[in-house]
């Protein structure tokens, strides 16, 4: 087959392509260029947390610390659940009442701190 002006060779457009070794390599339209670094972190898009949703969880599901789970604080959420429900379970013996009071104060403090907790949850994470 002869090449004529009416039959030019087809080349892929410039861009990143996978080479035979499984690496991304740059094609500029004429020649192969650099290989993409393998240590590049993937870009992850995470939906932003919202104060309104956190307040809704805190009001409707406060005893289950749903607002803390929503704001990426599972450790303190579990601590709150143990304090709240453990206090109710032990209130029959009267030793759980201080636990319930402490959990209620914690919940009130959370209601004030939700905007700050949302900002922290939405802050970029460094790994």
Q: Which ranges of the chain would DSSP assign to H, the alpha helix?
A: 51-61, 66-70, 74-90, 97-122
Q: How far apart are CA 125 and CA 47, in angstroms?
A: 13
Separation CA 40–CA 76 (nearest Å):
33
Q: How far is CA 67 from the centre of its chain?
A: 15
Calculate mean pLDDT across residues 15-24.
81
| pLDDT surpasses 80 at 44 | no
**What is the model's pTM?**
0.62
Write out pLDDT tens, residues 77-94. 999 999 999 999 999 888
Phi and psi at residue 16, to the nearest 5°: -90, 130
Number of neighbours of residue 65 by Cβ within 10 angstroms: 27
d(CA 29, CA 32): 8
Where do the structural domains in the chain lie, given as residue ranges? 13-38, 51-122
11-31 mean pLDDT: 80
- Bigger pLDDT: 105 or 18? 105
127 — pLDDT class (breaks 50, 70, 90): low
């Amino acid at each position: 087959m002869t090449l004529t002006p009416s039959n030019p060779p087809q080349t892929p457009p410039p861009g990143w392509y996978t080479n035979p070794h499984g690496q991304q390599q740059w094609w500029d339209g004429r020649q192969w260029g650099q290989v993409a670094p393998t240590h590049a972190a993937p870009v992850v898009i995470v939906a932003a947390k919202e104060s309104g949703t956190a307040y809704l969880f805190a009001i409707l599901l406060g005893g289950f610390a749903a607002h803390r789970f929503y704001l990426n604080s599972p450790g303190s959420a579990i601590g709150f659940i143990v304090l709240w429900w453990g206090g109710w379970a032990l209130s029959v013996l009267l030793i759980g009442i201080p636990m319930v009071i402490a959990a209620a104060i914690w919940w009130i403090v959370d209601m004030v701190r939700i905007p700050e907790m949302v900002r922290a949850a939405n802050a970029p994470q460094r790994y």
